[in-house]
Structure 1
Amino acid sequence: QDKRGYKKNPHVELGLWPDRYFVTFSLLADAYNRAEFYPKYQDISDQIVQSDWLVSNDHTNPEMLSADHFPDALARYMKVKSSDLVIGFNLMANSQIVKSGNYDQLLFDKFMSLSKFMVQFNH
């Protein structure tokens, strides 16, 4: 009902960049009541840092950092109004799994894992 639609809510995306597939869980800069989500992110911080997820503060840029950068990404999201907070996975087009054509299950599993965050954050 909002003209910004899903962008104002925590959401999961599956998409393509020219060189990769991606699956992300995002809370964008214009999220409704974004400060209410900060404690939830702090609660899962250790879980993210100890994972193989990637993180970013910009959903429009395909480059993401390793999960050990999550505390810095969260701090930036909390301080900078125009910042996004993205947790996700990239599957590079030139990877062996893509070349073999057997990656559907991997992308599905990553999507389902990130969907758990979406459910948790949307309660």
Structure 2
Amino acid sequence: MFTNQDFDIFNDQTLAGRMHLIKTVIDPKFEQLAPTIIANLQTPGEPPFYAHVAKHLRRFKNPPVDTWVAFSQNKRSYKAWPHFELGLWPDRLFIYFDILDECKPAVQAQMQLADLAPRLLALPTGFVISNNHGVPTTESATPANITQAIKKFDQYKHSELVVGRAVGVNDPLFEDADALNQLIITTFKQLLPIYQPVMAAVSAAHED
């Protein structure tokens, strides 16, 4: 599945060239793995998950700096909903749960993010956290960094929440496709207890 060579797409500095590589090299891998991810995210009796492969439609000059597939329980979109993302930055593969700027008002209308603290603190070692999905930089999901991320989410209008795992480009996992795929699935399943109350809150906000 994913290999170190996949990151070579970022060596092409042209919009057309990188877009071609994303569509022919990376997107087919997203599409191949998506049904397995969805099957592991799905809860009986709950609305289905849908895969949304990034199209980068707003790129007219500069090539995409990252690329991803998102998983949400909304068939038409994902940014205004809590969702999961699997994607690539030039230096890492990421496996994240996201509350983006477009989703934040609905979350804050129905819940306090601090209510998620016990679930965030229960995440295993190796998880990372951030308040900005648009940059690759993250912090280890330590108790102090979790507290700080929640505080920033509450205090700053455009602060987001991103939490999950990242696999560096030189990680030996890229030499073991089965192990990497299992890590991806396991990570998403470990993030589900965080996703579920947020999704319930956002669904309630949309019903009001």
Does TM, scored on the shorter chain, surpass 0.5?
yes
2:114 matches 1:114:
no
TM-score (norm 2): 0.52
Shift of the alpha carbon at 1:110? 0.7
Following the alignment from structure 1 to structure 2, what is the Cα–Cα distance between the partners of residues 66 and 59? 15
- 3-state SS of the aligned residue for 1:5? coil
The answer to whether the 8 Å contact 2:129/2:161 transfers is yes
- 3-state SS of the aligned residue for 1:83? coil
Following the alignment from structure 1 to structure 2, what is the Cα–Cα distance between the partners of residues 24 and 77? 16
Q: Which amino acid aligns with 1:35?
A: Q
- 3-state SS of the aligned residue for 1:16? strand
What does residue 97 of structure 2 align with?
25
The answer to whether the 8 Å contact 1:38/1:78 transfers is no
Give ranges in structure 2 of 5+ residues lacking alignment.
1-75, 201-208
Shift of the alpha carbon at 1:107? 1.0
- 3-state SS of the aligned residue for 1:42? helix
Shift of the alpha carbon at 1:72? 0.6
How many residue pairs get matched?
Answer: 120
The answer to whether the 8 Å contact 1:24/1:88 transfers is yes
2:34 matches 1:34:
no
Following the alignment from structure 1 to structure 2, what is the Cα–Cα distance between the partners of residues 57 and 38? 18
Percent identity between matched residues is 29
Following the alignment from structure 2 to structure 1, what is the Cα–Cα distance between the partners of residues 110 and 97? 13
Shift of the alpha carbon at 1:66? 1.0
The answer to whether the 8 Å contact 1:97/1:103 transfers is yes
Q: Structure 1 residue runs of 4+, over 4 Å off? A: none
Which runs of structure 2 are paired with 1:1-123 in the superposition (5 Å)?
Answer: 5-31=77-103, 32-36=105-109, 38-39=111-112, 41-51=113-123, 52=125, 53-68=127-142, 69-101=145-177, 102-123=179-200
| Structure (1 or 2) with the larger CA radius of gyration | 2
Over aligned residue pairs, what C-alpha RMSD do you find? Answer: 2.2
Give ranges in structure 1 of 5+ residues lacking alignment.
none
TM-score (norm 1): 0.83
